[in-house]
Amino acid sequence: MRVLGIETSCDETGIAIFDTERGLLSHCLYSQVKLHADYGGVVPELASRDHVRKTLPLIEQALAKAKLSAQDLDGVAYTMGPGLVGALLVGACIGRSLAYGWKIPAIGVHHMEGHLLAPMLEENPPAFPFIALLVSGGHTQLVRVDAIGHYELLGESVDDAAGEAFDKTAKLMGLDYPGGPRLAALAEQGRDQQYQFPRPMTDRPGLDFSFSGLKTFAANTIASAADDAQTRADIARAFQDAVVDTLVIKCRRALQETGLKRLVVAGGVSANKHLREQLEQFTQSIGGQVFFPRSEFCTDNGAMIAYAGAQRLLAGEQSDLAIIARPRWPMDTLNPPSI
């Protein structure tokens, strides 16, 4: 089965074609970073308009790269949520309309399920069951995954997501958009243990996260510190260390409580070099394994949507003709494929 994947949940237009027998045939991505840079963050209306301009040309490009025509496709998968409602509607309208015109089934995909399954696109995919850490600008969640669609939410952020905290702290430091990757780069120049930041909610039971207070602690530290390049790097290092340590502590706790040894880490923040190093060291120390998607599939992309949609289409699922966007959509409400 060859499936076209369309991702338009926020500020990146991702298109891909996945073949359930041959694997990923093509993927194309257009980032709106330059469009939103002058505003210091994503402007939803501008994002939606740019998806309108870019989606169809990228579909044509993906088909050309795969050396396929529309008649060679067996299904269309598009992101139905969560995300920006206007951006989601662009992908849903185009995906649902193309599927109708091409007389093939369409399926609306959960954005975070796509991230969760992104490591399945690698040569060494994880086996079920595993614990997934989904960590991005909009979500920080720990999920037990027993099979596709069999998800148990173990913990999540009660306020800011980890990626959101990175972006907001970067903005406090005067770093340009997108702030998270810039803060991580600055942290590499920082010295260890120059500042002591808290590890929020690690001194109590449970697997929930909270990063809003850490952002406030960073704001107070920035306001009282000297304004020079090395100090800024030291603060960035201390902030990143606090976020990474918190994530590692909660992952350790989740694996201990469930007795599992496999960890999947996905979402934009999973590209963070320091987080990868720390989780690899931790899982090796317990005789476990950690799985990451390749860097290009950490952020939003069409490949993960095409893969997730293909698994559900194979099971006989499909969306009806209604065009629906779900900007808020808890992942633990998903049903397993009806195999």
Binding positions: 111, 115, 134-138, 167, 180, 272, 300
The number of C-alpha atoms within 13 Å of 278 and in the hemisphere containing its C-beta is 19
Q: How far apart are CA 150 and CA 169, in angstroms?
A: 35
Nearest one of 185, 155, 332 to 246, comparing CA atoms: 155
Residue list, annotated binding site for Fe cation = 111, 115, 300
In sequence order, what are the residues at sequence separation of 6 or more whose Cβ sits closer than 8 angstroms to the Cβ of residue 107? 75, 76, 77, 78, 309, 312, 313, 317, 318, 319
Q: Which of 7, 69, 52 is nearest to 307 (CA)?
A: 7
Report residue 262: phi and psi, to 5°.
Answer: -105, 135
| Distance from C-alpha of 247 to C-alpha of 119, rounded to nearest angstrom | 19
CA-derived radius of gyration, the chain:
20
Which two three-digit tokens encode residue 316?
């006989």
How many Cβ atoms sit within 10 Å of the Cβ of residue 144?
Answer: 17
Q: Residues annotated as binding site for substrate?
A: 134-138, 167, 180, 272
